[in-house]
Amino acid sequence: MEEVAHFTEGEFYQVHFDSRAYIDSFYSCPRGHEEEENFLSFVLACLSRTFSTGKYKGQRLIEVGSGPTIHSIISACEYFQEIVLSDFADNNRKEIVKWLKNEEGCFDWNPIIQHVCAIEGKRPFDVEVNLRQRVKQVLKCDVRLENPFHPHNIDPAECVITSLCLEAACKDLETYRKALRGVATLVRPGGILVMVGVLGQTFYYVNEKRFSCLILSKTNIESILENLGFTIHEFNILPAQDRKKIVSDFQAVFHLVALKSATYTCDG
C-alpha cells in the first residue's frame, strides 16, 4: 500500500481518490467494510433516530462534504423540501449525479436504502423517489474557505450534515476549527448541525492509496461547537473493536446533534 508523507488535502483527493472503489468497499452492504464491523450500521441507526420521527424538518438541508455517497440523507429526505449535496472532488460529485439520474452503471444504493427502510417501516421505492426529487444541487465545496461554497452564497439551512469530511480535509486543529466555523455559518439560528466522524484516526486506505486524517477527541469537538453557539443534544460514540487496522486506525466513530442558538451572531 502506498504511503504518503504529507497530509492529503483536497488537491490530493482530486487526483488520487477512487470514488467508486470507496463506495464499493465501504457501502456495498449495511455492515460496511468487513474490517470496520458495525461502523456503517451504527451511523445509519443514529441518523435514523435523529430524523425518522420528523422532529427536525424544514425547507432546506445541506450536506457539506458528501463524498460520492447519499446514505446520510436517506432518513432525512422526507422532511426537507430541498437538499444540497456537495464535495471538493469532481469524481465524487459525478458519482452522486450519476445515481440521481439513474444512469447505467451507477452505484447500487438499494441494500442501504432497504436496510434503513426496514428500521423505519418505509417503502424503499418511495424513499428512493424522494431522494432523487429533493436533491436540487450537487455543488463543489472547500471547507478550508470561510464560505465553503465560494463563489456561491447559499442561504443558511434548517439542517446541515457533515460526515467523515472535516477530519479528512483539515491538516491541523486550527484548520479544523476554522472549517467548522464555516460550516456553522450555513446553519440557521435555531437550526441543527448533525455530524458523523471518527476519533483518534490518523489514516485510511482506498484502493491501496493512503489518506490522512486529523486526530480528534470528543473534547476537541465539544469545545469548538460550544464556542460557535451550539448546544450539543446528543453525542453518541461507538468504540472500535480489536482489528488488524489495515484499512483504517480509528479509535471510535461518533454521531452528534447540536442545536444552534437562536441568538448567536458571528463576531468575526
Burial class of residue 11 in the structure, from the number of CB atoms within 10 Å of its CB (0-12 exposed, 13-18 middle, 19+ buried): exposed
142 among the known binding-site residues?
yes
Residue with cell 424538518: 57
Asked if 143 and 64 count as a contact pair (C-beta separation under 8 A), the reply is: yes
| Gap between the Cα atoms of 214 and 143, Å rounded | 14
- Whether 122 shows a pLDDT value over 60: the answer reads yes
Burial class of residue 104 in the structure, from the number of CB atoms within 10 Å of its CB (0-12 exposed, 13-18 middle, 19+ buried): exposed
| Gap between the Cα atoms of 179 and 130, Å rounded | 30
**Residues in a beta bridge with 195:** 162, 256
| Gap between the Cα atoms of 152 and 56, Å rounded | 26
Asked if 62 and 154 count as a contact pair (C-beta separation under 8 A), the reply is: yes
Distance of CA 46 to the CA centre of its chain: 13
Which residue ranges make up each domain of the chain? 10-260
Helix axes 124-134, 110-120, angle to 10 degrees: 110
Q: May I ask the CATH architecture of the domain 10-260?
A: 3-Layer(aba) Sandwich (3.40)
65 among the known binding-site residues?
yes
204 among the known binding-site residues?
no
Asked if 135 and 85 count as a contact pair (C-beta separation under 8 A), the reply is: yes
* Percentage of the residues of the chain whose pLDDT score is greater than 90: 90
108 among the known binding-site residues?
no
Name the nearest CA neighbour of 68 among 46, 99, 111, 41: 99
Q: What's the sign of the alpha-carbon dihedral 42, 96, 63, 117?
A: negative
- Whether 255 shows a pLDDT value over 80: the answer reads yes
22 among the known binding-site residues?
yes
- Mean pLDDT value across residues 182-204: 97
Take residue 251 and report the three cell numbers written for it. 479509535
Predicted confidence (pLDDT) per residue in 52-109, tens digit? 999 999 999 999 999 999 999 999 999 999 999 999 999 999 999 999 999 999 999 9
pTM for the whole structure: 0.95
| Residue 146 backbone dihedrals phi, psi, to 5 degrees | -60, -40
- Whether 242 shows a pLDDT value over 80: the answer reads no
Take residue 11 and report the three cell numbers written for it. 488537491
At residue 224 the predicted structure's pLDDT band, cuts being 50, 70 and 90, is: very high
66 among the known binding-site residues?
yes
At residue 35 the predicted structure's pLDDT band, cuts being 50, 70 and 90, is: confident
